[in-house]
Amino acid sequence: MLYTIVKHVLGAVAHLLFRVTIRGASNVPGEGPVVLCANHIAWWDPVLVAIALKRPVHFMAKKELFRFPVLSYLFRKVHAFPVNRGKPDLGAVKAALGVLREGHILGIFPEGTRQKNKDQLGEMHAGAALFALKTGAPVVPAAIRGTYKIGRPVVLVFGESMTLEARTGKTSVDMEEGARVIESAIFRLWQSTKEESGVAAREVGSC
């Protein structure tokens, strides 16, 4: 219930503030586990992903957001769970696998943090690939592009789902290969949003 309320309220605010374009939401399976991976540019990103989909998304979020009891309660109520980004976090891994084994959507930003430079992507970490390989859940890549400035366009596009395969039998190698596959898929989508997000116009105008 709280997830739905927060989703609709923040979604309405987002549409008022920004020129939101969403494409490809039908690429997200209507049921079953999904590893949803997107690039990360602002705290609005989870809101944009949530309002695009009918199904709830369980986001992995940095543990610092859960320091205060009230905020921790609210974040957990909207299906977020903490991860320690500074070191391996077994609890977060178990929670993520649990989300998928229960048939839900797991939302991950593989870059691990927001990118200050909106004109490039950060390196993608391998955690998302691990979860997909461990559970067999399909991966849906997504790309977000824009500045989240009032009145400016923000574009979210979902790509086609894909299944990662363990080709070598070595977990670390398969994870890295899977991470690069996800990274490439997100990059292609991100490139495709360039004109819609107004990035091309800004670059030409600055020359």
Nearest to 49 by CA among 76, 72, 27: 27
For residue 10 the two structure tokens come to 């923040």
| Of 151, 6, 173, residue with least CA distance to 74 | 6
Closest-CA residue to 46 (of 7, 72, 17, 20) = 7
DSSP sequence for 100-145: HHTT-EEEE-TTSS--S-TTSPPPPPSHHHHHHHHH-PPEEEEEEE
pLDDT of residue 206: 28
Total domains, the chain? 1
CATH number of the domain that residue 170 is part of: 3.40.1130.10
Phi/psi at 102 (5° precision): -90, 0
Range of the domain at 156: 2-205
Per DSSP, 60 falls in state E
For tokens 């602002």, the residue is 42
* pLDDT tens-digit map of 43-98: 999 999 999 999 999 998 888 888 888 889 888 989 999 888 767 778 999 999 99
> What is the pairing mode between strands 139-146 and 153-158?
antiparallel
Q: What is the pLDDT of residue 54?
A: 93
Q: How confident is the model at residue 119 (pLDDT cuts 50, 70, 90)?
A: confident
Residue carrying structure tokens 């039998």:
169
Query: Which H or E element spans position 74?
Result: helix 69-77
Q: What is the pLDDT of residue 201?
A: 38
pLDDT at 95: 94
182 or 166: which leads in pLDDT: 182
Local confidence band at 117 (pLDDT 50, 70, 90 cut-offs): confident
- Give residue-wise pLDDT tens across range 85-103: 767 778 999 999 999 999 9
